[in-house]
Structure 1
């Protein structure tokens, strides 16, 4: 909701020194979040004055019509002589009052005005359009003002309201009353404890005879409808400048007088209105449910198939509007309409919300109806609208009107006067609750310290004692609630929490950036991963009400969301990207049924909880890594290096290191990785070798499907399984004795994983081995076709003595012997 300060001050006696930014701070602290304060016209400088067109000379010989004008601007130009201006607009004539920006002025957007020669004439200034001044969007020509609007030569900036501070408030769904000047003004008056003038207080004479007939077919759809008529309306009457300006400042586009009046009253009072061409209606207007198969062409020229859950307003010929959302085209106010019928109603908000989403048609009216509007302002709003039509469009207001109102039991809430203080943990002074409840419009009866409160009709969100407590607390000031630190006796972080933090620090330290992606995906994502039809990752849970129809599934893998994030970053010029994410995936249980709907009037039983638990998916925690671009940049220090499959595997090794587990890596084939550049990752859980994930370079088809850079790499593994593999870590003994290093080169079959050779060497070397490190892999004629040479550096050390060469050699020979036995390795000469 956009709130111009000058409009707000019409209803609130705000002190003159209260600035828009100060008010924004107070409203935000009170629960109405002001996102921005727009200072309209802050970049506008004068002179911008009123002028009278004295003469117009039509210039010929150009591609478009050009006019050379002499404009009286009084003494504003310093000479008193007429100002000579070249203008291309055609919608003004001699004698018209216009707006002139003189040389030296600067219009919104940094548009400087000067004197220049154009079309063979010298133009000293500009006759301005509404768009150029920032008044509203209008490209039909310059602004022609009504007689008496301003004095020739006088400053026009203030008179036109070209400078204005506008609050942009993000209204939460529970505060629908704030989608109106009336609602924001009431809160402002309460905060500053100043007088409030209610714009809904209009004089309404009793009806003389019946108005246009109306009926409500179903009380569940609406409880009130008001119809007020006006005849003799001039459909070509222009909307006055002040109304256009306020609508534009409030974010609403001016259209025509009848539409602008209904929008203006909606912004003012929060009550959506609809203006009908009365001559196109037949018989009684009835609020009813749409019939199956019924159709309606709405004002946006779309033929809509209506749903029986839609509320419509129909005459004897059929539906004429989707109630609360949009009117029908057949009864639109046109250039020949002079009999107007204004309708104001109070519809059920749930029906309006569903209809708006069903037809994908969110309007200013539906936004207000679905949040809840004042149930008693309809007559005032309709009266205000027809009076404006009479004042501005020459209409005659019909004294008779129609009001169909169904009885509704008012809400009554019982609350103790100290309840707000108990909720906030603050001892509020006596009478605080009563004072603030009166300020928001509540009435109440007191019985000792118990109040029976009746909320006002404009606050349908107040339904229980805690709602009332919130009103007291927010108006008393959230900032006045003292901050008291928690003094509990916690046990610190759990082991799982410490592991997750350690993993995050390790990956961040190695250059990865953490991301959080949406846990949703679609069939197209699974296809992009090149998953087989029977791949278990295709078995997923479908959302009943997805945010995006293309992503209706809960994710079974982290990779698609991370791929989209990588593509987005690369698309914005970040070519060297390393990302990681820790998050849950959702794996349906075999044979799981649908969770029951739990009752709200009691707690769930043990059996019901078991059914809920059985329906929940397994939710393991995974870690995903994606990389592309340069792992090391080129420079004077070296040639640089592109990130690849080895970096993805190393990221998992870093996690295994901080987790204190041994990671085993071997070649594998698994989508979406390249079949020749994919590694399977294993850990040992209670002595059993368990697969935890995969890493490597992505398949080219996956790269193409997600729009990733070539040779992108990724890893995904199960952090829960890694945690289960953790064993008790003991600090290693630090030996002061020297190390003995032995190198060994073995020739094995090319298909033998290097990890198997390394593991055999480590086991065979015994307790003296400190580490084993691969430092070379060779293939070529010297080792034979289908064979490879792998060289390792073995470090030996004893904790109590210096090893002899014989001891180190014996350990080396034992290592080689076991490697030969297990892998068929041959010691290379």
Structure 2
């Protein structure tokens, strides 16, 4: 939120030191993001009136103006502004003045005509970004008076960053109230007196659901001059708060929103038919909004309508067809309290963000609408004239938020802060913040005001005390107490070990968003079971991820676009799938790689990463479990995996993860021109590991038997190894695959594997008969389970 420093100082007595003010606001949780000084170097700039304006004799785009500054002869000024004309008043920088942009004004001759000063735009004066022409001043601006005095300068535009729980400070009024508590000074709220009713025009109001809109007020103001000029003081406060003046009616509603925090809206009363109705939109209804966009409505939206058509989206934006124009003579002024739940996320669903929705989503004082309506009515009548009608109100008292008392114990306050704060100081803080406070035997009972939605428990009151009293006044002491170190089970592999292993194998850990776009999941064909977000940050981040790979590959692509030749990324994080009763979270570890297999060097020829490089990385992870033989890798197909270059890891029949190259169609959709290899493992399936056991080295010699088999190409080696281990049992100490051969001589889709069986018994020396029996068991298992044939 932006606001004018001078405006704040009108409402509260605070020290003149701007830096001290900024520091105190930030330390109290109202973080100051930026300060933009305005009009700090305007000495020598005065109000001037153009009394003569002729074309320049030697330049088509220049004019020779005669200006007066209240005394002496008119000055000749050469000006190139398109709006320079007879009768207007504008800032004049006198000779010798230095503008905020560093320009020093000197007497000069422009195309043969002498110029004795410079007529200025708002940008040249550092007041506004408008550089389209001269800054036009009101007709009643006193000629010759310093511009700084007329505009109330110097000033500063201050921007603060508010947390979502402090909507009460989204107004100068709320900020001033908080500032008064911080400095212990007087708060001077703007005086608001009801406007005298001068007409009978009124419009009925009907609220269909009080839970959505507990309070709605409106009044008709007849006979206004919508083209009336907004006063300079009001326009300048809007500019310094980040809003551009538009018209008298719109400027008044914006000003009251900034001043009091209550958004309002003005309708052209002559475009309305019958009563004002606040209801849920109906499916299929549409509304053209003020910005020209067309919104397709559904029952999630709260709409403001008349008896025949929608007029506005409640708490978001008004409609185009009922907007106030320069020809409007009668307006219907709206001021309402909408429940945050009825407004939250509606603007974002339409891809927009408005000042009104920003406030209504966080919660607005339910007692504020009438005060704001009276304030806006008084300002509008003062600026644009008109005859005010009576206020019409629809209220559902049972649906209005109610504030319950909160008990604060004196002993708990002192224990948490380790600081003694006097009772009088605590009561002062609560009182200046608007709480009704009552002292009790062991503390206080405080009732929050209607504008403080964030106060509900004892800890909230303690936070208010310490932030106003000053965080810097809380003593810094080391924490006391016994800290217990976490007990890590030895039978489970820790995530830190998995991370460290991948980092040791030259991977860089990435952290990606846990949500992404539904279109991204559609490209990967991973959208089954995805969970849409009810209130997404944007349309591109609308669903929870069902896999780590889309985000990881997107990060890999970003690195490649930034000239990274070799990229290897890994991530550990949760993925989410819809469950019967609640979302299911699964912790996974994933990796993605492309480019060279090894970093550039002289000792090894350059080659690109392939399937077996990533398979080796995964096997190094599985080796940490002390039971790598429990895992098997077999071919697998997925829509996003390359046919013939995809595999799945299983442990005891349970799917552990997937590995492979991305499908060429997916690579094209992701704009890759090279192969990308990925893997993803379920951490809970990988983590269990048997405890290591010490065993004496066998005293008995091992026996090796080499075998060669012919078997179908589609039978993976993992299946062969599992079959041999299951058949031979504990006597098998190891298997060594030392040859693979395939040729047309063997037949189509036939391969030959040669392996050595290492046989050993821990209690005796194996005989030839023992070794032959083990070989026979292995041969039988392969012939029956793997369609293998022993080669001679």
State the TM-score bracket (shorter-chain normalisation): 0.7 to 0.9
User: What does residue range 762-781 of structure 1 map to in structure 2 within 5 Å?
Assistant: none
What residue in structure 2 maps to residue 77 of structure 1?
none
Distance, in Å, in 1 between the alignment partners of 2:308 and 2:727 is: 94
User: In the alignment, does 2:9 pair up with 1:6?
Assistant: no
- What is the Cα deviation at residue 675 of structure 1? 2.6
Distance, in Å, in 2 between the alignment partners of 1:207 and 1:166 is: 38
Distance, in Å, in 2 between the alignment partners of 1:139 and 1:629 is: 51
User: In the alignment, does 2:641 pair up with 1:673?
Assistant: yes
Q: Is this contact kept in 1: 2:212–2:339, CA < 8 A?
A: yes
What residue in structure 1 maps to residue 337 of structure 2?
346
Q: Is this contact kept in 2: 1:99–1:156, CA < 8 A?
A: no
User: What does residue range 385-534 of structure 1 map to in structure 2 within 5 Å?
Assistant: 385-391=376-382, 393-395=383-385, 398=388, 401-402=390-391, 404=393, 406=395, 408=397, 411-418=403-410, 421=413, 424=416, 426=418, 428-431=420-423, 432-449=425-442, 451-478=444-471, 480=474, 484-495=479-490, 499-520=494-515, 524-525=519-520, 528-529=523-524
SS in 1 for 2:393: strand
| TM-score (normalised: structure 1) | 0.74
User: Residue deviations 1:368-402, cap 9 Å, x none?
Assistant: 233222233334323332333344x352564x642
Distance, in Å, in 2 between the alignment partners of 1:345 and 1:176 is: 16
- What is the Cα deviation at residue 761 of structure 1? 11
SS in 1 for 2:588: strand
- What is the Cα deviation at residue 504 of structure 1? 0.9
User: In the alignment, does 2:624 pair up with 1:658?
Assistant: yes
Go from structure 1 to structure 2 and tell me whether the alpha carbon gap of 1:128 and 1:627 turns closer, same or farther (over 3 Å shift).
farther
Q: Is this contact kept in 1: 2:88–2:139, CA < 8 A?
A: no
Q: Is this contact kept in 1: 2:13–2:185, CA < 8 A?
A: yes
Distance, in Å, in 2 between the alignment partners of 1:496 and 1:135 is: 69
Go from structure 1 to structure 2 and tell me whether the alpha carbon gap of 1:32 and 1:647 turns closer, same or farther (over 3 Å shift).
farther
What residue in structure 1 maps to residue 136 of structure 2?
144
SS in 1 for 2:429: helix
What residue in structure 1 maps to residue 279 of structure 2?
289
Distance, in Å, in 2 between the alignment partners of 1:339 and 1:538 is: 53
Distance, in Å, in 2 between the alignment partners of 1:59 and 1:775 is: 96
User: In the alignment, does 2:665 pair up with 1:701?
Assistant: yes
Distance, in Å, in 1 between the alignment partners of 2:545 and 2:172 is: 44
Q: Is this contact kept in 2: 1:412–1:452, CA < 8 A?
A: no
Distance, in Å, in 2 between the alignment partners of 1:338 and 1:546 is: 40
In the alignment, which of 8, 20, 24 is matched to residue 26 of structure 1?
24
What residue in structure 1 maps to residue 34 of structure 2?
37
Go from structure 1 to structure 2 and tell me whether the alpha carbon gap of 1:397 and 1:523 turns closer, same or farther (over 3 Å shift).
closer
Go from structure 1 to structure 2 and tell me whether the alpha carbon gap of 1:25 and 1:98 turns closer, same or farther (over 3 Å shift).
closer
Distance, in Å, in 2 between the alignment partners of 1:142 and 1:401 is: 42
User: In the alignment, does 2:151 pair up with 1:184?
Assistant: no
Q: Which ranges in structure 2 are unaligned for 5 or more consecutive residues?
A: 761-765, 783-787
User: Residue deviations 1:569-620, cap 9 Å, x none?
Assistant: 434554532221223344667xx5xxxxxxxxxxxxxxxxxxxxxx456644
Distance, in Å, in 1 between the alignment partners of 2:75 and 2:601 is: 69
Distance, in Å, in 2 between the alignment partners of 1:720 and 1:490 is: 23
User: In the alignment, does 2:328 pair up with 1:365?
Assistant: no
User: Residue deviations 1:149-195, cap 9 Å, x none?
Assistant: 577696769957576241232331x3221111111221121112122
Q: Is this contact kept in 2: 1:700–1:710, CA < 8 A?
A: no
Distance, in Å, in 1 between the alignment partners of 2:185 and 2:379 is: 28
In the alignment, which of 197, 203, 224 is matched to residue 188 of structure 2?
197
Go from structure 1 to structure 2 and tell me whether the alpha carbon gap of 1:309 and 1:89 turns closer, same or farther (over 3 Å shift).
same
User: Residue deviations 1:437-480, cap 9 Å, x none?
Assistant: 21211124445446554432322444455544443343344552
SS in 2 for 1:382: helix
Which one is further off, 689-698 or 146-155? 146-155
Go from structure 1 to structure 2 and tell me whether the alpha carbon gap of 1:473 and 1:639 turns closer, same or farther (over 3 Å shift).
same
Go from structure 1 to structure 2 and tell me whether the alpha carbon gap of 1:286 and 1:69 turns closer, same or farther (over 3 Å shift).
same
Go from structure 1 to structure 2 and tell me whether the alpha carbon gap of 1:104 and 1:49 turns closer, same or farther (over 3 Å shift).
closer
Which one is further off, 780-789 or 299-308? 780-789
Distance, in Å, in 1 between the alignment partners of 2:281 and 2:586 is: 48
Q: Is this contact kept in 2: 1:99–1:127, CA < 8 A?
A: yes
Distance, in Å, in 2 between the alignment partners of 1:280 and 1:491 is: 69
- What is the Cα deviation at residue 647 of structure 1? 2.8
User: What does residue range 600-619 of structure 1 map to in structure 2 within 5 Å?
Assistant: 615-616=581-582, 619=585
Go from structure 1 to structure 2 and tell me whether the alpha carbon gap of 1:288 and 1:31 turns closer, same or farther (over 3 Å shift).
same
Go from structure 1 to structure 2 and tell me whether the alpha carbon gap of 1:10 and 1:679 turns closer, same or farther (over 3 Å shift).
same
Distance, in Å, in 2 between the alignment partners of 1:313 and 1:764 is: 77
Q: Is this contact kept in 2: 1:229–1:386, CA < 8 A?
A: no
User: Residue deviations 1:480-529, cap 9 Å, x none?
Assistant: 27662552334433458862001111212322222333445677555534
Q: Is this contact kept in 2: 1:514–1:581, CA < 8 A?
A: yes
What residue in structure 2 maps to residue 714 of structure 1?
678
Distance, in Å, in 2 between the alignment partners of 1:320 and 1:549 is: 26
Q: Is this contact kept in 2: 1:136–1:253, CA < 8 A?
A: no
- What is the Cα deviation at residue 243 of structure 1? 3.2
User: What does residue range 504-583 of structure 1 map to in structure 2 within 5 Å?
Assistant: 504-520=499-515, 524-525=519-520, 528-529=523-524, 539-540=528-529, 542-543=531-532, 545=534, 547=536, 555-583=545-573
Distance, in Å, in 2 between the alignment partners of 1:221 and 1:712 is: 51
Q: Is this contact kept in 2: 1:415–1:450, CA < 8 A?
A: yes
User: Residue deviations 1:404-429, cap 9 Å, x none?
Assistant: 37584753415244376178364643
Which one is further off, 788-797 or 629-638? 788-797
User: Aligned-residue CA RMSD in angstroms?
Assistant: 5.4
| TM-score (normalised: structure 2) | 0.77
Distance, in Å, in 1 between the alignment partners of 2:662 and 2:339 is: 53
User: Residue deviations 1:334-384, cap 9 Å, x none?
Assistant: 212344453323334433437656666643223223322223333432333
User: Residue deviations 1:512-561, cap 9 Å, x none?
Assistant: 2223334456775555346xxxxxx7652544736367777654433223
User: What does residue range 79-94 of structure 1 map to in structure 2 within 5 Å?
Assistant: 82=76, 84-85=78-79, 87=80, 89-93=82-86
Distance, in Å, in 2 between the alignment partners of 1:115 and 1:649 is: 80
